[in-house]
């Protein structure tokens, strides 16, 4: 057997963000050769990682993985932020303390809430002449009516996070300056995403995640939806960088 040679069985592909990957199998005679084979680029993709397995005859099979922009994608212009961006929206509900509700004063007034040692408590019966709201309907209630907020300590808040993922060969220069900035609309979002109605909420730009894949940078930029009423004005000024 030769000292080392490639074998058939290459595998790979290109993901939705334009990052190409090729895994090339090699056979070598000794453990020291495991680290030296497959160092040259394949289709323009540098070698990024390798795994190996010892075979029954004592030789080794080495899988060398190459990642980056392929030569073809570079020539055809299928690289960079504009060509490789994908979007994702995650919705969730979280249980928040009633004290954090943006309309707390109105709720206290409507349902007779009082603050006891920093916690809002509601009486078992609605106050006289209070008006409770159920869905879009409003009804008058006497003092004998059961208070729907009696014993309630939390409320459900809708949350959302928008993620933008793309590849590029250079980290954008403004990344460190935009972290924590408050914006009303998501830059360059798809039309259907940009047209979604978020009411009086806005977005905070989160610190990005940057992965290095050879000469390619995989960047994930996220935007965090504010509570109702928007993020407090000037909140980004209190972020320590």
**Structural domains of the chain ordered from first start:** 4-75 (2.60.40), 81-94+158-238 (no CATH), 95-155 (no CATH)
CA distance linking residue 203 with residue 142, whole number of Å: 42
Residue 198, sorted as left (phi over 0), alpha (psi -120 to 50) or beta, turns out to be alpha
User: Who's near 233: CB < 8 A, 6+ residues apart?
Assistant: none
* Residue 1 pLDDT greater than 70, yes or no: no
CB 58 within 8 A of CB 30: no
* Residue 122 pLDDT greater than 90, yes or no: yes
Q: Are strands 114-116 and 86-97 parallel, antiparallel or unpaired?
A: unpaired
Q: Kindly report, residue by residue over 142-200, the tens digit of the pLDDT.
A: 456 899 999 999 999 999 999 999 999 999 988 888 888 999 999 999 999 999 999 99
The per-residue pLDDT for 8 is 81
Sign of CA dihedral 28, 34, 40, 46: positive
Cα atoms in the 13 Å half-sphere on the side-chain side of 30? 3
Question: Per the confidence metrics, is the pTM higher than 0.85?
Answer: no
User: Who's near 40: CB < 8 A, 6+ residues apart?
Assistant: 47
The per-residue pLDDT for 137 is 39
* Residue 91 pLDDT greater than 60, yes or no: yes
* Residue 56 pLDDT greater than 90, yes or no: yes
Q: Is 2 helix (H, G, I), strand (E, B) or coil?
A: coil
User: Who's near 222: CB < 8 A, 6+ residues apart?
Assistant: 161, 162, 163, 164, 205, 206, 208
CA distance linking residue 85 with residue 193, whole number of Å: 14
Task: Work out the average pLDDT over 110-126.
Answer: 93
The per-residue pLDDT for 238 is 61
CB 52 within 8 A of CB 201: no
Element (H or E) spanning 177, and its range?
helix 175-178
Count of Cβ atoms closer than 10 Å to residue 94 Cβ: 10
Q: What percent of the chain has pLDDT over 90?
A: 78
Nearest of 204, 183, 186 to residue 195 by alpha carbon: 186
**Average pLDDT score, the chain:** 89
Name the token pair of 5. 């040679």
pLDDT band (50, 70, 90) for residue 236: low
What residues are paired with 83 via a beta bridge?
A: none
* Residue 127 pLDDT greater than 60, yes or no: yes
Q: For residues 156-172, b (16+ Cβ closer than 10 Å) or e, as one string?
A: ebeebebebbbbbeeeb
Taking each continuous run of H as one helix and of E as one strand, the counts in the chain are: 5, 15
């Amino acid at each position: 057997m030769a000292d080392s040679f490639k074998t058939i069985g290459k595998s790979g592909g290109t993901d939705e963000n334009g990052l190409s990957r090729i895994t090339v199998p090699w056979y070598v005679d000794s453990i020291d050769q495991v680290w030296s084979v497959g160092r040259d680029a394949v289709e323009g993709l540098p070698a990024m990682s390798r795994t190996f397995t010892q075979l029954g005859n004592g030789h080794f099979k080495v899988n060398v993985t190459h990642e980056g922009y392929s030569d073809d994608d570079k020539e055809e212009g299928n690289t960079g932020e504009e060509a490789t961006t994908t979007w994702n929206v995650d919705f969730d509900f979280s249980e928040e303390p009633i004290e954090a509700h943006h309309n707390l004063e109105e709720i206290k007034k409507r349902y007779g809430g009082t603050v006891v040692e920093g916690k809002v408590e509601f009486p078992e019966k609605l106050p006289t002449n209070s008006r409770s709201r159920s869905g879009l309907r409003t009804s008058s209630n006497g003092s004998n009516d059961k208070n729907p907020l009696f014993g309630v300590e939390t409320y459900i808040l809708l949350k959302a996070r928008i993620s933008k993922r793309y590849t590029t060969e250079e980290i954008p220069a403004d990344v460190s300056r935009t972290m924590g900035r408050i914006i009303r609309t998501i830059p360059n979002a798809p039309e259907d995403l940009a047209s979604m109605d978020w009411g009086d909420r806005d977005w905070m730009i989160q610190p990005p995640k940057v992965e290095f894949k050879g000469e390619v940078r995989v960047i994930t930029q996220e935007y965090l939806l504010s509570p109702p009423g928007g993020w407090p004005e000037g909140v980004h000024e209190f972020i320590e960088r």
